[in-house]
Amino acid sequence: MTPSLTLSAAPKRLPIGALLALAMTGFICIVTETLPAGLLPLISEGLAISPSMAGQMVTAYALGSVLAVIPMTIATRGWRRRNVLLLTIVGFLLFNSITALSSHYGVTLVARFFAGVAAGLAWSLLAGYARRMVEPDQQGKALALAMVGTPIALSLGVPLGTWLGGLVGWRTTFGLMSALTLMLIVWVLVKVPDYPPQPAHQRLSLRRVLTTPGVRPVLAVVISWMLAHNILYTYIAPFVAPAGLADRVDLVLLVFGLAALAGIWLTAKLVEPLLRKTVLASLVMFAVVCVGFGFWGRVPEVIYLGVLLWGLSFGGAATLLQTALADAAGDGADVALSLNVVAWNSAIAGSGVVGGVLLDRWGVASFPWAMVVLVAVGFVIAWSARAHGFKAGPRGAGAGAVVGH
């Protein structure tokens, strides 16, 4: 494998400003995706549609991400990297603005679909971009910082957007998201370095990437872990209701979000020396939480403690899994990370279906045991991928030195 970029001259200090710009991009991705969920009554009234039809704004966004991420990633591999990043941000600017101004449901859905396309391309780009800014032994820390926008968006961004929607209206809230992207464009131009595209002879095909040792095990862990996580996250309101917390879902999610931030901080410390052990420990912690919920899910104190440990175990998941995937894929990192977007979003979609079936047939008491099975599958796969995917020992100096850009 021929290195596409030598990083020996990279500065020892992390490029905080540039990495935070990537984190802000992730924040905008998440908030743009989930904002309609908190504004459904206002949107349905404003567009004269039912709440269920308004909810399809989330579906259209996810569909855009899943369908477009791989072809868009492959199509833009020959572009300079900052141009691709700016394309995604301009996409958010354009399609959030259309959402804010549109009075036609069909136009709104199309705008949401293409906003999802922008998000899919962004997610395939961010991890590799963060890794490219630093030396190999700093890549885990850099990725942890670049991913910090996700739990912030989940814990603070969506509730804030919902509150703003009630205060100034849902259209103005989407307009404010556009204003935020304008600021981000300037931030990227000032702080984020540009890089040339990956040389054509180093661009691996989709089939070649999928057959690279270690790639499929990591993707399998992504699907099993995220499916288990999202069953609980998607249906958290009915799940905590038997514990008398139906009116405290906001507090439960806040505990989760703050714990996830702590998980990111902890992962930044552990990803370089102990990536494999941290993945396995996170899965074990989540499994213990699921068992606790299975036996004592009606006890409020158990719910709060379990949610705290759940957030702690989940906070670093994106960093750990994307680092392992990019390390395994080598020159095919961009394509592998686009596959990660598909796997992640498919798990989100699948969790809605699986969780819905469990809820209708057996009730929320069935959630923890289904999740234990999924987490156990993920643990076995991660444990078995000792040679490729989740390697034992510290990340070597050459483990991620090359990022396919």
**What are the domain boundaries of the chain?**
16-201, 206-384
pLDDT winner (highest mean) among 43-52, 104-113, 259-268: 104-113
Over residues 31-68, the pLDDT tens digits come to 998 888 778 778 888 998 887 788 788 788 888 988 88
Q: Is 1.20.1250.20 the CATH number for 206-384? A: yes
Of 202 and 289, the structure prediction assigns the larger pLDDT to 289
**382 CB burial (10 A radius; 0-12, 13-18, 19+):** buried
C-beta neighbour count of 111 within 10 angstroms: 25
* Among candidate residues 313, 306, 310, the one with its CA nearest the CA of residue 245: 306
Q: Which stretches does DSSP call E strand in 102-164?
A: none
> Rounded to whole angstroms, what are the CA distances from 152 to 52, 92, 157, 258, 301?
27, 19, 6, 8, 24
Distance CA 182, CA 264 (A): 27
* pLDDT > 90? residue 96: yes
Calculate mean pLDDT across residues 341-350. 84
> Rounded to whole angstroms, what are the CA distances from 371 to 97, 305, 342?
39, 17, 21
CATH of range 16-201; options 2.10.10.90, 1.10.1060.10, 1.20.1250.20, 3.20.19.10: 1.20.1250.20
* Among candidate residues 304, 193, 189, 190, the one with its CA nearest the CA of residue 258: 304
How far out from the chain centre does Cα 340 lie? 9
* pLDDT > 70? residue 2: no
* pLDDT > 60? residue 201: no
Distance CA 217, CA 229 (A): 18
Residue with tokens 């020892």: 12
Q: Do the domains at 16-201 and 206-384 have one common CATH topology?
A: yes
* pLDDT > 90? residue 281: yes
Prediction pTM value: 0.80
Q: Degrees (nearest 5) of the Cα angle 355, 304, 316? A: 70
Cα torsion angle, 230, 235, 240, 245, sign: positive
Over residues 216-251, the pLDDT tens digits come to 999 999 999 999 998 898 788 889 999 999 888 878
The average confidence (pLDDT) of the chain is: 87
Calculate mean pLDDT across residues 128-145. 86
Fill in the amino acid letter for 91. Answer: G
Cβ atoms of 59 and 78 closer than 8 Å: no
* pLDDT > 90? residue 128: no
- Listed in sequence order, the residues at least 6 apart from 163 whose beta carbon sits closer than 8 Å to its beta carbon are none
> Rounded to whole angstroms, what are the CA distances from 170 to 106, 158, 182?
17, 13, 19
* pLDDT > 70? residue 264: yes
Confidence tier at 178 by pLDDT (50, 70, 90): very high
Of 213 and 234, the structure prediction assigns the larger pLDDT to 213
Calculate mean pLDDT across residues 169-189. 95
